[in-house]
Amino acid sequence: MKKALLTVAAALLLISLLSVSARAAEIDGEAWYGGLWESVDADTKELLEQVGMDGVSPEGFLSLSPFRVFSLIGKIAAGEAVSPLRYGAGAVLAAVLTALAGSLLPPGGAMRDRCETLGRLCVMFVLLSGTGQALRECMPAVTATKDFMLALVPVFTGVMGFAGNPALALSWGGAVLGFSETVGVFFAKYVPSAASLGTAAVAAANLNEETDFSAAAKTACKAVTVAMGLAAGLFSAVLSVRDVIAAASDTVSMKGAKLVVGQGVPIVGGAVSEVLNTVAAGLGLIRDTVGMFAVLALFLLVLVPLVRLLLWKGVFRFFSACASLLGQGRVASLTDGLNSLLSVILAVICFNSAVFIIAVALVTRLAGGG
């Protein structure tokens, strides 16, 4: 009688797990992916659709190709190059006219000094206008990245927990959520103010013949870049240690549960253990899909600002070389200072996305290995 009851209970358990497995296999994109897709801003959604992703699903990645990605980058570069080239052409024209007018005036005269000062002011106005436009267009990417991570963490931790990695989900989710909030608030509050202050300092130095902030700007850019690199390395190291320990704990727990079920449940214990594997594999596919989508979305979130800043830096470097050839040393110094400022903003945007891409890739690998 006792054995019969155990057999009936095991059968009911098997039927229940099979129904769970069937429901897991029928999970659609709206159930797990809907909120994550809606958390992406409209511009990034458009970029995702251009590379073949019209939603978060495993099937969407099958249509993804490197050719589409490279074509998208080329299209973005072609569109974003218009504004930097226009400002750069205006600055070069002002510098050429200043040099031409200076060559026609007697050296050391008041008229020549006034002409050079006026030309330098014209170039400064053009370059500062372009720099301000680039900063205004690029900084929203930091906020968009933070908002996306705040939406990703609950979805990703939830699916990891259901897929058999509860300790890993708790460890990763808490660390990434806290880091995302801290970094997002810090960058949103202080980086725009620091950028405005740096722009004003570079402009003021350009008006004063006795000051040169180009070396100081390069030093500050290097210091900020190194500081962010150290912060990213420290966060990745701490997160790796925490996640490795949590993943090991989940692996031991899952293997222990399978062993207990397989050996302790009579007759159907092996089948029940296989059902657990099936459910975990189905939810693991969802977990990996969310992880791959997060990496792709984070990349596309910063793709346009990244291309835009690289184009501006290229134009600034070209203009600095032209100004040096024309004997416009002060203008070249101004351009180098603004170029260093753009380097800081570029480092901020790369830091804000690369850290989270590494975090998502790390936890996806650990969870899959468990």
* Per-residue pLDDT tens digits of the chain, which is 370 residues long: 444 444 434 433 433 433 444 344 444 445 556 667 777 888 888 888 888 888 777 777 777 777 888 888 999 999 888 888 888 888 888 888 877 877 777 776 677 777 777 877 888 888 888 888 888 888 888 888 888 888 888 877 877 777 667 777 777 777 888 888 788 778 877 887 777 777 777 777 776 666 666 666 677 777 878 888 888 778 777 777 766 666 665 554 445 444 444 555 454 444 444 444 454 555 566 777 777 888 888 888 889 999 999 999 998 888 888 888 877 777 777 788 888 888 888 888 888 888 888 888 877 776 665 4
**pLDDT at position 367:** 65
**pLDDT at position 24:** 44
User: From CA 142, how far away is CA 223, in angstroms rounded?
Assistant: 20
3-state SS, 31-93, equals: HHHHHHHHCCCHHHHHHHHHCCCCCCCHHHHHCCCHHHHHHHHHHHHHHHCHHHHHHHHHHHH
**pLDDT at position 275:** 46
**pLDDT at position 238:** 78
**pLDDT at position 260:** 46
For the residues of 163-199, what is the DSSP string, one character each? TT-HHHHHHHHHHHHHHHHHHHHHHHHHHHHHHHHHH
CA 159-363-28 angle, 5° bins? 25
User: From CA 37, how far away is CA 44, in angstroms rounded?
Assistant: 10
Q: Residue 356 has which token pair?
A: 């989270």
Specify whether the CB–CB gap between 329 and 210 falls below 8 A: no
The reported pTM is 0.77
**pLDDT at position 21:** 41
Cα dihedral across residues 279, 295, 359, 151: positive or negative: negative
Cα dihedral across residues 93, 94, 99, 100: positive or negative: positive
Q: Residue 277 has which token pair?
A: 């594997």
Count other C-beta atoms under 10 Å from residue 365's C-beta. Answer: 14
**pLDDT at position 4:** 42
